[in-house]
Amino acid sequence: MRKVLAAREEDRATFYGTFERVGTKNGWEGRQEHTILLRDICDQAGKRVCDHLWFNLTKAFALLNLYPGETVIFDARVKAYKKGYFGRRLEIYKPAEIDYKLSHPTRVRKVGP
């Protein structure tokens, strides 16, 4: 669990992180959705809030034309979500737990040139 984010649940603030790579996930009806991985997420004061987060590759992120190692700054709200396995296969069962994410990133921009 991301304890630093848990203490700030529902707060909207400015965060920044380092772009690492693009990925994919299975979306609705099996469609592939693109994602991005940001590492070392910090708040505006420079306090590290989590080691990594995955975000959907939204239009705002795509327009930045990011390269690995570039810093991205954005506003987002801290939200709780359930994670775990919710299927019926007992051999891969993992109990659900509450974790925290940064939701609805806005004002996305690159730091530097």
Mean of pLDDT values over 87-110? 88
CATH number at residue 32: 2.40.50
Q: Which domain holds residue 98?
A: 3-108
Q: Tell me what pLDDT residue 113 has.
A: 58
Q: Is 110 left (phi over 0), alpha (psi -120 to 50) or beta?
A: beta
Question: What are the beta bridge partners of residue 31?
Answer: none
Distance CA 59, CA 64 (A): 9
How many folded domains does the chain comprise?
A: 1
Three-state SS at 92: helix
Q: Which pTM was predicted?
A: 0.86
Q: CB–CB of 17/61 below 8 Å?
A: no
Q: Is residue 10 part of a domain?
A: yes
Q: Tell me what pLDDT residue 30 has.
A: 83
CA atoms within 13 A on the CB side of 104: 8
Three-state SS at 88: coil
Q: Is residue 113 part of a domain?
A: no
